[in-house]
Amino acid sequence: MTHRKDKAEADITTHNKNPYDIVKDLLKDSVTELGLNENIYHILKKPNRVLEVSLPVRMDNGRIRNFTGYRSQHLDIIGPTKGGIRFHPNVNLDEVKALSIWMSLKSAILDLPLGGGKGGVIVDPNELSEKEIEELSRTYIRKITPIIGPQKDIPAPDVNTSPEIMGWMIDEYDQLRGYNIPGMLTGKPIIIGGSEGRLEATGRGVVLTIREAAKVLGMDLSSSTAALQGFGNVGSMAAKFLHQLGVKVVAVTDAKGGVYDKEGLDVPDLLQFVQDGYSVSEYTKADPLTNEDLFGLPVDIFIPAAIENQITKNTAPAIQAKIVAEAANGPTTPAGDEILEEKNIFVIPDILCNAGGVTVSYFEWVQNEMNYYWKAEEVNQKLEERMVFGFQNVLKIREERGIRMRNAAYTVGIKHIAQALVARGWIKDADMR
Ligand code: NAD
């Protein structure tokens, strides 16, 4: 394992450590931990293919703005690569690479026949009109068309990309190809081949892992409290399902701020409020709360569901929760992670916790390929089976090896991929020892 002191110091100097460096460190630690040959690390540490594209878009005022986009395809030895597209001002190549590696590991942990991919565009969508966002979405798909497709690489939604945007993207792809290819992308509106349950899938999966973790800790969820950072697709759905399980959701925030009610927020009312186009910070039926104060609340479950690098050396000391469920990708820095471990907090790592999204995306793709569609109950039941399977496998390795959940999740994922590397003759059986 990397030395604690190094990690802590890295966090002091570089408050937001590069996610690609973080994932490479974790891969290396886990390959060592497993006693595998380091050849496996050298294969896994770099995405198979990355593409940078220029995206000139005519803005409403007639001027051209040229955006930058990326697509990273990590490894396609188990199946086509798959992963979301992010629209965010902080998107950069290293972030996209890291996210594509995490996607490979998620699919491996849940035994999905897929590899990892990820895409992103450097843009603040709040500055664009709807027409400009549509044009940007269509331009991005045109530019990455040569490397995507239902048997190659299958995009999906991520931060700031909705089913509506997926609809524009698939329309552009189909127009280029000349026919309807629904399996080219997931997270679509249901009417054009989306899956029942996809919109709720990531949040539902997060809550399933929390339910399993509560069993391990002997926690009664119906008398537990939760706080969430981020109230977009993942955060809002996680809040909805926690509320349905009887968990008191006392605080939520978004990028503009948040709200707190120690008696429990009226989650259905808040969901409707946000669906009507408001920020949670504008909700007046609860006390205002800042993103900084969210971390120190006395809750049982803390759920980062926004962006990377939120649980850090600075914020982790305040966390009082028994469970941290990483609904976001990469929400915890290495130094933040060390603090959570010292505090004996049960961490459900991102590559397990939020894998419900890729799981139902996989189901969507399967349904598209056979052109036959399942009812919501069937999708949800299959999702539950996969999430519990993944959680139990990771838990087993944690207990057998006496390591933490994050390292156990990497171990399960890497071992699965390593078996495929052996089967394809990339590495020798001996390297597995
Ligand atoms: P989203 O765009 O729907 O929502 C993001 C939310 O985070 C919004 O409420 C936004 O206001 C909030 N936010 C952004 N910056 C913030 C900040 N600095 N402080 C507090 N809140 C902030 O995105 P999403 O799809 O819900 O994704 C959230 C996270 O979950 C991301 O890390 C994403 O990669 C991960 N994830 C998403 C999916 C999926 O299916 N959408 C699947 C797996 C993982």
Q: Where are the domains of the chain?
A: 1-45+198-354+383-433, 47-183
**Distance, CA of 314 to CA of 335 (rounded, Å):** 9
Q: Quick one: pLDDT at residue 6?
A: 37
Looking up tokens 């299958």 gives 154
**Distance, CA of 96 to CA of 47 (rounded, Å):** 10
Torsions phi, psi for 359 (to 5 deg) = -65, -50
Nearest-CA residue for atom 18 of ligand 1: 255
Q: Quick one: pLDDT at residue 42?
A: 95
Ligand 1 atom with the shortest distance to the CA of 330: 32
Q: Show Cβ contacts of residue 193 under 8 Å, excluding neighbours closer than 6 positions.
A: 182, 183, 364, 367, 368
Q: Quick one: pLDDT at residue 11?
A: 37
Ligand 1 atom with the shortest distance to the CA of 162: 3
What spacing in Å lies between the alpha carbon of 375 and ligand 1's midpoint?
Answer: 27
Nearest to 348 by CA among 117, 164, 106: 106
Q: Quick one: pLDDT at residue 318?
A: 98
Neighbours of 391 (CB within 10 A): 27
Residue 371: both structure tokens together = 């052109």
Mutate to test the pocket of ligand 1, among 85, 99, 295, 307 (most ligand atoms within 8 A of CB): 307
Ligand 1 atom with the shortest distance to the CA of 361: 40
What spacing in Å lies between the alpha carbon of 179 and ligand 1's midpoint?
Answer: 33
Residue type, 185: L
What spacing in Å lies between the alpha carbon of 38 and ligand 1's midpoint?
Answer: 34
Nearest to 54 by CA among 123, 154, 155: 123
Task: Give the pairing type, strands 153-157 and 115-122.
Answer: unpaired
Q: Quick one: pLDDT at residue 36?
A: 86
Fold category of 47-183 in CATH = Rossmann fold (3.40.50)
Of 118, 188, 248, 313, which residue is the catalytic one?
118
Q: Quick one: pLDDT at residue 16?
A: 61
Q: Quick one: pLDDT at residue 17?
A: 74
CB 389 within 8 A of CB 110: yes
**Distance, CA of 429 to CA of 433 (rounded, Å):** 8
CB 309 within 8 A of CB 16: yes
**Distance, CA of 129 to CA of 116 (rounded, Å):** 31
Q: Quick one: pLDDT at residue 334?
A: 93
Residue type, 188: K
Residue 152 a catalytic site member: no
pTM confidence score: 0.94
Each residue's pLDDT expressed in tens, for the chain with a length of 433 residues: 333 333 333 333 344 679 999 999 999 988 988 888 889 999 999 999 999 999 999 999 999 999 999 999 999 999 999 999 999 999 999 999 999 999 999 999 999 999 999 999 999 999 999 999 999 999 999 999 999 999 999 999 999 999 999 999 999 999 999 999 999 999 999 999 999 999 999 999 999 999 999 999 999 999 999 999 999 999 999 999 999 999 999 999 999 999 999 999 999 999 999 999 999 999 999 999 999 999 999 999 999 999 999 999 999 999 999 999 999 999 999 999 999 999 999 999 999 999 999 999 999 999 999 999 999 999 999 999 999 999 999 999 999 999 999 999 999 999 999 999 999 999 887 666 6
- Matching fold, domains 1-45+198-354+383-433 and 47-183: yes
Mutate to test the pocket of ligand 1, among 162, 164, 202, 270 (most ligand atoms within 8 A of CB): 202
Query: Where does ligand 1 bind, in terms of residues with CB under 6 Å?
Result: 157-160, 202, 229-235, 253-255, 291, 305-307, 327-329, 354, 357
Question: Residue 120 class from Cβ within 10 Å (0-12 exposed, 13-18 middle, 19+ buried)?
Answer: buried
What spacing in Å lies between the alpha carbon of 277 and ligand 1's midpoint?
Answer: 16
What spacing in Å lies between the alpha carbon of 126 and ligand 1's midpoint?
Answer: 15
CATH classification for the domain delimited by 1-45+198-354+383-433, as one of 3.40.50.1820, 3.40.50.720, 2.40.37.10, 3.40.630.10: 3.40.50.720
**Distance, CA of 67 to CA of 81 (rounded, Å):** 24
What spacing in Å lies between the alpha carbon of 308 and ligand 1's midpoint?
Answer: 9
Nearest-CA residue for atom 19 of ligand 1: 255
